[in-house]
Amino acid sequence: MTKIDVHDKEELQKCGQGDTSEHITIYEGSHKTLGAATTIRRLLPRRHRRMVGPWCFLDHFGPVAFEDRQQAMWVGPHPHIGLQTVTWLLEGEVLHRDSVGSVQVIRPGQLNVMTSGKGISHSEETPEENSGHMHGLQFWVALPEESRNVEPHFEHVPQVPSVNVDGITFNVFAGSAFGVTCPAKYYSPIVGFDAHLVGSETADVPLNSAFEHAVVVTSGEVQVDGETVSPGFMGYLGTNRESVCIEHSEDAHIAIVGGEPFGEEIYMWWNFVARNAAEIREARDDWAAGRRFPDVQGFEGKRLEVPEFAFS
């Protein structure tokens, strides 16, 4: 997936540091569309909350029911630098192809982590054999200075570790939580997990107090430390927390992501994460000229055109 909104493309986003506020802050996502049928709620970056740990981008897409797969997800080859893309599905399937030769269908419970390092291109599409439904999350994770120019690579985890705590099953798709560790390679202190919440209950979810965290709700309505969070909103928790109280009176689904406040200032524009405008311009010009980023094989459509870059 990529940013497809012109306004986003034209805004050079300079990202900041963590926040030690003790109170939950609710951020409203912006609405986009992907293909003809799929709604996206963009929860990161927000104007006053660019990052949560190393997490710098979050799209919640769907749920969608479709007949034409090109109306669900159909994103042609496009480049990335300086980040990892993390794909986590709740329903349906997505086919990933990339310029290091990966061809991988992902389904719920599975994890795709693509590390762009110094440069990769990829496409994402609803595969021909599909359930007619799609719902999921796609994140970007900024790579720290010492790792941002690694060789591009791709990792598929067929089943992430799950652990049952007081009747709730948590699936850990990044870092370590609840005594289990996701096997996918990340490059800075990070955590990500989700849970399907059933019925009505209250749970204290333990957190790493060195991390900042955010709670995203993809279905149902949840009280997070007493504040309502529903789909389309993100509850930011700051650092210095031992736990967060989650209450719900209906079935719901939540994801919690976090990490050490990133500490480095990053620039985001289009599909790139960098440290200054010159690096962004170079990546932009390389994609436009067909340099640096090898081709993606097998996608039946055009590659994405990069917009003009108007910043110095």
What the block records as the tokens of 128 is: 């021909």
Q: Residue 218 or residue 271: which is nearer to Mn ion going by CB? A: 271
Report the SS3 class of residue 198. coil
- CB-based contact 229:222 (threshold 8 Å): yes
Find tokens 């990490």 and name the residue.
Answer: 259
Q: Residue 148 or residue 213: which is nearer to Mn ion going by CB? A: 148
Q: What residue type is 175 in one-letter code?
A: G
Q: Residue 86 or residue 195: which is nearer to Mn ion going by CB? A: 86
Residues in the chain: 312
Task: Work out how close the CB of 275 gets to Mn ion at its nearest, in angstroms, rounded to a whole number.
Answer: 20
Task: Work out how close the CB of 21 gets to Mn ion at its nearest, in angstroms, rounded to a whole number.
Answer: 31
Task: Work out how close the CB of 124 gets to Mn ion at its nearest, in angstroms, rounded to a whole number.
Answer: 7
Task: Work out how close the CB of 178 gets to Mn ion at its nearest, in angstroms, rounded to a whole number.
Answer: 30
- Residues 172-188: b if buried by 16+ CB within 10 A, e if exposed: bbbbebbeeebebebbb
Binding stretches for Mn ion (CB under 5 A): 2
Alpha-carbon gap, residue 178 to 134, rounded angstroms: 28
Kindly write down the DSSP assignment for every residue of 78-100, as one continuous string: EEEBSEEEEEEEEES-EEEEETT
Task: Work out how close the CB of 148 gets to Mn ion at its nearest, in angstroms, rounded to a whole number.
Answer: 16
Q: Residue 32 or residue 196: which is nearer to Mn ion going by CB? A: 32
Report the SS3 class of residue 278. helix
Q: Residue 100 or residue 180: which is nearer to Mn ion going by CB? A: 100
Q: Residue 73 or residue 254: which is nearer to Mn ion going by CB? A: 73
Alpha-carbon gap, residue 93 to 88, rounded angstroms: 10
Read off φ and ψ for residue 259, nearest 5 degrees: 165, 175
What residues have CB less than 8 Å from 282, skipping those under 6 apart?
none
Q: Residue 50 or residue 122: which is nearer to Mn ion going by CB? A: 122
Other Cβ atoms less than 10 A from the Cβ of 68: the count is: 11
Task: Work out how close the CB of 224 gets to Mn ion at its nearest, in angstroms, rounded to a whole number.
Answer: 29
Burial class from Cβ neighbours inside 10 Å (0-12, 13-18, 19+) for residue 202 reads exposed
Task: Work out how close the CB of 78 gets to Mn ion at its nearest, in angstroms, rounded to a whole number.
Answer: 6
Alpha-carbon gap, residue 17 to 9, rounded angstroms: 22
Q: What DSSP designation does 71 have?
A: G
Task: Work out how close the CB of 4 gets to Mn ion at its nearest, in angstroms, rounded to a whole number.
Answer: 11
Task: Work out how close the CB of 271 gets to Mn ion at its nearest, in angstroms, rounded to a whole number.
Answer: 6
Q: By beta-carbon distance, which residue lies closest to Mn ion?
A: 2
β partners of residue 136: 61, 89
